[in-house]
Amino acid sequence: MTAERPDMHLNQHSATGQPGICILGGGQLGAMLCEAAKRMGYFAICISPDDNDPAARWADRHIKGDPSDPLLVGSVSEHAAAITVEAESIAPEALYQSHFRGIISPGAHVQQIVQDRRLEKTFLAEHGLAVGPFALAETLDEFSTQVAAMLQTSVKVVAKTARGGYDGRGQIWIHSVDEIPSAWRSLGQAAVVVESAVDFTAEISVIVARNHRGEKCVFPVLQNEHRNGILHQTQIPAPQPLAVIRTAQELAVEAADALNLVGLLTVEMFVLPDGRVWINELAARPHNSGHVTMRTCSRSQFEMHISALMGLPMAAVSLITPGVMTNLLGDLWSRGEPQFDAVLAESTASVHLYGKRPRPGRKIGHMIHVAASLDEAKAAADRAFTALGHHSVAATQ
Ligand code: AMP
């Protein structure tokens, strides 16, 4: 018989009886979810390994432990109204809670799909959701064949590890068949997805909130700029023709319905020169690009995620002002604390820091600039970024 855990009989309601929302993972997405949940009258519980995790510090109650441990999750969330994740790395097993009567977001089957690029691409293709050309490979032979075939029609291809890659990690560009063996080795000789290079004119993302009744709310479309595979800036509203906006929003809604998702779905997409839109990736949770909604929309992505979990109305979210979100990576701290005075001297700027130890390439915070026009917001964001004296490789490329 296993020993009873000390956390087994915690009452996951506040003293005033607020329903609990259990967040698995301790990063900044969890912290911002805690903030929204608490403001909306819920009791935020976070399970994460470290007391200093951003979400651990924002939660009403932090449970130190492995958020992927099904037993721990089951015991902690016993009396909560909802369980949700803030990271793709949370094991689907933690979301198989057959005795849990509340909402689980995303369901284990969705977490399984978004965790594995093979399942994700296959799911999209099988449901007729527009996706670029891709192939799957599990052995060097398969990999060689797929890459060689794709290089016939595409000047370069990108190979991505099926699992575990993020922010440009776990992927490699291949320009000729000579590079195949080294690419295979550098990707860890494990299952990969191979994609031809999409000649996109823009990268956009669409966030959909969906409750258990299937009611939905779609956010204004976001336009994203990546540097070195990491999100650098997000603009709202995406400066795209209406037809592209409509197509993108419809595609995102279709994907959320196909997954039967409760919570948030963020769909990253490529816009092609002819106006077509292809899905690149799904995230069944709040998304970095959605941070811009905190200062520009009538409700943020975090509020809508909580609303979806709790079965609240999915009323349309409206754009209050154009705005630009710029990520602040750890590189900025390489010569000491950045001088935020110049940024904050502008009344239309806000700085959000997550309380994480700075490391190159690590997301430490973000800024949001709002203005009467998107052009003005973008100019202000770029000025602020330059004023912060960004020294990283990411900024110079
Ligand atoms: P991902 O991890 O799949 O989101 O990829 C990170 C970034 O790499 C994307 O946001 C794109 O900028 C770029 N990228 C990924 N896949 C492709 C592709 N098939 N064609 C062109 N660019 C890509």
Give the domain ranges of the chain: 10-105, 133-196, 202-394
State phi, psi for 218 to the nearest 5 degrees.
-110, 135
- Strands of 211-340, DSSP E: 216-218, 222-227, 230-236, 263-271, 277-283, 323-329
Query: What is the rounded distance in angstroms from the CA atom of residue 245 to the CA atom of residue 225?
Result: 17
Instruction: Tally the C-alpha atoms within 13 A of residue 363's C-alpha that lie toward its C-beta.
Output: 23
Candidates 124, 147, 158: which one to mutate for ligand 1, based on the most atoms within 8 Å of Cβ? 158
Return the residue whose CA atom lies nearest to atom 9 of ligand 1. Answer: 229
Task: Determine whether the shortest distance from the Cβ of 168 to ligand 1 is under 6 A.
Answer: yes
Instruction: Assign 18 to helix, strand or coil.
Output: coil
10-105 and 202-394: same fold? no
Instruction: Assign 344 to helix, strand or coil.
Output: helix
Task: Determine whether the shortest distance from the Cβ of 395 to ligand 1 is under 6 A.
Answer: no
Instruction: Assign 5 to helix, strand or coil.
Output: coil
Task: Determine whether the shortest distance from the Cβ of 195 to ligand 1 is under 6 A.
Answer: yes
User: Going by C-beta distance under 8 Å and a sequence separation of 6 or more, which residues neighbour residue 246?
Assistant: none
List the single range of 33-37, 86-90, 340-344 with lowest mean pLDDT.
340-344
Return the residue whose CA atom lies nearest to atom 19 of ligand 1. Answer: 197
Topology annotation, domain 202-394: D-amino Acid Aminotransferase; Chain A, domain 1 (3.30.470)
Give the C-alpha distances (Å, rounded to integers) separating 162 from 109, 114, 269, 323, 385. Answer: 16, 10, 18, 34, 34
Query: What is the rounded distance in angstroms from the CA atom of residue 353 to the CA atom of residue 348?
Result: 17
At residue 361, the pLDDT reads 92
Pick the CATH number of 10-105 from 3.40.718.10, 3.10.20.30, 3.40.50.20, 3.30.9.10: 3.40.50.20
User: Going by C-beta distance under 8 Å and a sequence separation of 6 or more, which residues neighbour residue 269?
Assistant: 203, 204, 205, 206, 248, 251, 277, 278, 279, 280
Dist. CA 183 → ligand 1 center (Å): 17
At residue 132, the pLDDT reads 94
Query: What is the rounded distance in angstroms from the CA atom of residue 308 to the CA atom of residue 10?
Result: 25
Return the residue whose CA atom lies nearest to atom 8 of ligand 1. Answer: 229
Dist. CA 353 → ligand 1 center (Å): 26
Candidates 280, 288, 327: which one to mutate for ligand 1, based on the most atoms within 8 Å of Cβ? 280
C-beta of residue 186 within 8 angstroms of C-beta of residue 169: no
List the one residue out of 367, 360, 370 whose CA is nearest residue 395: 360
List the single range of 2-6, 111-115, 168-172 with lowest mean pLDDT.
2-6
Give the C-alpha distances (Å, rounded to integers) separating 370 from 272, 320, 327, 374. Answer: 28, 10, 15, 8
At residue 390, the pLDDT reads 55
Average pLDDT on 185-191 reads 90
For the whole model, what pTM was predicted?
0.93
Whether residue 3 is predicted with pLDDT greater than 70 in this model: the reply is no
Question: What tokens does 338 get?
Answer: 């950045």
At residue 2, the pLDDT reads 35
Task: Determine whether the shortest distance from the Cβ of 327 to ligand 1 is under 6 A.
Answer: no
Topology annotation, domain 133-196: Dna Ligase; domain 1 (3.30.1490)
C-beta of residue 93 within 8 angstroms of C-beta of residue 321: no
At residue 79, the pLDDT reads 79
- Written as one letter, the residue type at 294 is M
Whether residue 103 is predicted with pLDDT greater than 50 in this model: the reply is yes
Q: Please tell me which residue, 17 or 130, carries the higher pLDDT value.
A: 130
Instruction: Give percent of the chain with pLDDT exceeding 70.
Output: 93
| Closest ligand 1 atom to Cα of 171 | 2
Dist. CA 159 → ligand 1 center (Å): 10
Task: Determine whether the shortest distance from the Cβ of 271 to ligand 1 is under 6 A.
Answer: no
User: Going by C-beta distance under 8 Å and a sequence separation of 6 or more, which residues neighbour residue 92?
Assistant: 108, 109, 111, 112, 115
Whether residue 86 is predicted with pLDDT greater than 50 in this model: the reply is yes
pLDDT tens digits, one per residue of 299-354: 999 999 999 999 999 999 999 999 999 999 999 999 889 989 989 998 999 999 99
CA 267 to centroid of chain Cα atoms: 9
Dist. CA 229 → ligand 1 center (Å): 7
In this structure, the number of other CB atoms found within 10 A of the CB of residue 176 comes to 11
At residue 18, the pLDDT reads 86
Name 363's bridge partners.
329
Task: Determine whether the shortest distance from the Cβ of 133 to ligand 1 is under 6 A.
Answer: no
Position 1 confidence tier, pLDDT thresholds 50, 70, 90 = very low
Return the residue whose CA atom lies nearest to atom 13 of ligand 1. Answer: 229
C-beta of residue 248 within 8 angstroms of C-beta of residue 181: no
Average pLDDT on 60-79 reads 94
| Closest ligand 1 atom to Cα of 134 | 19
At residue 13, the pLDDT reads 60
